[in-house]
Amino acid sequence: MTEAIRIAWFVLLIALVPSASAGAPTRPNILLLVAEDLSPRIGAFGDEVARTPNLDRLAAAGTRFTNVFTTAGVCAPSRAALILGRHQISTGTQHMRSRAGGYLAVPPADAKAFPERLRAAGYFTYQIGKLDYQFSGVQGGSGPSSIWDAEDDDAQWASRAPGQPFFGMVNYMVTHESGVMSPLGTWPHSATHLLMQVMQWFARQGFTDVVVPTDPQSVVLPPYYPDLPAVRTDLARHYDNVQIMDAQVGALLERLDQDGLADDTIVIWTTDHGDGLPRAKRDLYDSGLRVPMILRWPEQFRPDRFAPGAEDDRLVSFVDLTVALLAIAGVERPAGMHGRDFLAPEAPRREFVFASRDRIDDRMDRQRAVRDGRYKYIWSAFPDRPESDASDYRENQDGMRAMRAAYEAGELATDQRTWFEAPGEERLFDVQNDPHELRDVSGDPRFQDTLVRMREAHARFRERVEDLSEVPESSLAERYWPGGEQPVTADPTLAFSAGHAHVECETPGASLEIRTDQGPWRLYTHPVPVPIGTRVSARAIRYGFAGSAVVSETRPPDS
């Protein structure tokens, strides 16, 4: 894109978005960095095995949030909740993955991804890496097009118009569960394993020399893991991948500094859910839900209460992060979002966070979790279904295979067997005194008042948040894609009057984009002024639908 075109589009943004107009307060750039499948295995969070110098420096300059919880222990439902700011059970995005059920989720018409809301407010939005919202594909470029100005673009913030604030969401795959599987060069357990070996080889390129191999004997095994060589090796490999991710984050932060943008950019680093390890990923234990988060404010934007190096232990849900990101950009919390701005002055502390587990691949399940500062309550709709049976994908890890073989041979201790056995309908854990959630105290008379309180919190949550898992998934799929066919967004209508282009679409909830001549696509929010003879194109997309055709017209002299 030429500099002249960039400047012209920036002028158009000023006309379209009052909040970005001249004289408005400077708004920060925002970077949201998301590692995959990682619990707080970071030096700054107290892990003595981790080698994370870049994240440790980021934490020293920012605030560590130590009680952040995702709404699911697996990527696609968690990412759907984050991108929409709504619990996945209320938007039809709860099953892992919706594609396995033969459909894409179709969220409510008023549900919009928060980067699209930032884009509507004048931000340049871009992403690198994984999408996986349940109404998109997994990788960048799989839609919906209205959310991002650029996808998988190495130029990143350099592609924006001069002076335009940016929001970037960057994903780090190297810590993904697949990275725990034995690497390329070892015999794969399956075709899936081989594919993951290749993907992880690419994810590591350029950074393998940073790894100081982790001694398997140095890792600390939680009591639910048997002390087996394969288990230790997998965990050590996980720590090695964390080193690579840390270096990748460091490289991006260095580029930000070299471009002179560090003093204008809020950086948030977190992960999409807990460890990609057995009895963590896919589960509702803290090992699957609790994630580290670091927020670094530039001095000009930093509130006094967030001093560099500080720690904040309030309960934070991922749906709160969505609202906070919008607030940072000056965008009002939209109706329908379930979170709260935990960064606001004197923001009330949460009493509870909530999480859900539903179908995992081809295994139907339904669990709900409520956690406060001390206790965790888990309700199971399938009390006789062991949690360990939820994924064949996980069986590609050597440690998982070794654990299952030991269980089947009767060689596991009590704490190690529990995960392989039926959970029961209700469980209650005192996570303060039992951080690994191994002692179910729901039947202990001393905890009956707590059990009732947590059960009631779950009931109130169900009254407040619609749970679409009460509908059979086959019915949900038929609602979204009747007859198994993806619906198509209606073609937009394009008209001209008073020197402006007007775009409409009859599909409820459709997002609209517009461009002039061969310029970049921009989100349409208001009529756009265009000169006579300008070629204008428009397109529309409803989340979960196929996109419309592109409609083009040239502005005539008399319009």
**What does the block give as tokens for 363?**
């295994």
Measured between alpha carbons, how far is 237 from 230 in angstroms, rounded to an integer? 10
Comparing CA positions, the residue from 241, 342, 351 lying closest to residue 295 is: 342
CA 312 vs CA 68, 272, 350, 433: distances in Å:
10, 19, 13, 21
Measured between alpha carbons, how far is 163 from 91 in angstroms, rounded to an integer? 36
β partners of residue 375: 430
- Cα 89-87-122 angle, rounded to 5 deg: 130
- Cα 150-156-161 angle, rounded to 5 deg: 75
CA-CA-CA-CA torsion for 162, 165, 167, 170, nearest 10 degrees?
A: 50
Pairing of strands 528-529, 535-541: unpaired
Extended strands (E) in 316-444:
316-317, 353-357, 367-371, 375-380, 426-430
**What does the block give as tokens for 32?**
């949201």
**What does the block give as tokens for 484?**
């198994």
**Which of the following is catalytic: 31, 44, 50, 75?**
75
Measured between alpha carbons, how far is 275 from 238 in angstroms, rounded to an integer? 9
Please confirm whether the linkage preceding 487 is cis (ω < 30° from 0).
no
The 3-state secondary structure of 273-329, one letter per residue: CCCCCCCECECCCHHHHEEEEEEECCCCCCCCCCCCCEEECCCEEHHHHHHHHHHHC
Looking at residue 221, what DSSP letter applies?
-
**Residue 505 annotated among the catalytic residues of the structure:** no
Q: Which residues are catalytic?
A: 75
